[in-house]
Chains A and B, each alone.
Chain A
Amino acid sequence: AQSVAQPEDQVKVAEGNPLTVKCTYSVSGNPYLFWYVQYPNRGLQFLLKYITGDNLVKGSYGFEAEFNKSQTSFHLKKPSALVSDSALYFCAVMGVLNTGFQKLVFGTGTRLLVSP
């Protein structure tokens, strides 16, 4: 079974400082990994994904994530945080259903708070 762990319920960082939101996963076979962001009362916005290739993936709004196979991690990073980055961040891993469809499994989410 696929699973995703986001060990931090909340991450606080000052504006201008680097941020990291942690994610580890468990999956059979090669993982497809995703980060999504959710603003209050909104759906999820796609940030970035890792499918194959370069371990460092760059995405929207200056975010990037590093795939580490040995540590089964896919931490989200940004060199300089903005107040507007404050939101709920979800890590997700792609699995496979019995029907053959690919099921996206989400972590529990990490709330990022960026202070001015």
Chain B
Amino acid sequence: GAVVSQHPSRVICKSGTSVKIECRSLDFQATTMFWYRQFPKQSLMLMATSNEGSKATYEQGVEKDKFLINHASLTLSTLTVTSAHPEDSSFYICSARAAGLRSQETQYFGPGTRLLVL
């Protein structure tokens, strides 16, 4: 149980284009989903927190107009990197926290998406 998927696993795009990454909780409903960014050999940096049906809460220094987050249902959140540039190249990881009484404190992570902007 508690499986989170991400799609795509890897994407290469040209500078200036937009890229959408999907995060799905496969066997549970997620009230809250999180988006992280991880640079090589570094820890995870929280970008934003999203609750189903409401606007995402962005961490300080993260541009909300550049990283658009939509949490349209209890099993799906999307991150869109708009007008991507080479400095946006990174490993993006989502996580989800379960609704109801089931281990609300535990976050389950997706496998990550490697973005390379040329």
Contacts and interface: CB of A to CB of B under 8 A. Distances in A.
Interface of A: 32, 34, 36, 41-46, 49, 51, 90, 94, 97, 99, 101-104, 106-109
A57 B34 CA distance: 26
B32 A101 contact: yes
Interface in B46-71: 46, 49, 51, 57
Nearest to B9: A41
Interface residues on B, range: 20 to 34
A76 to B, nearest CB: 16
Contacts of A109: 42-43
Contacts, number: 54
A32 B105 CA distance: 8
Among B4, B32, B51, B109, max chain A CB count under 10 A is at B109
B93 A44 contact: yes
A104 B104 CA distance: 12
B43 A49 contact: no
20 contacts: A34-B106, A41-B91, A41-B114, A42-B112, A43-B6, A43-B109, A44-B44, A44-B95, A45-B109, A46-B2, A46-B107, A46-B108, A46-B109, A51-B105, A101-B51, A101-B57, A103-B46, A103-B49, A104-B46, A106-B44
B114 to A, nearest CB: 7
B111 interface: yes
Mostly, the B contact residues are strand
Interface of B: 2, 4, 6, 32, 34, 42-44, 46, 49, 51, 57, 91, 93, 95, 105-112, 114
A108 B110 CA distance: 19
Among A44, A102, A109, max chain B CB count under 10 A is at A44
Contacts of B91: 41
A84 B57 CA distance: 38
Contacts of A34: 106
Among A32, A43, A90, A99, max chain B CB count under 10 A is at A43
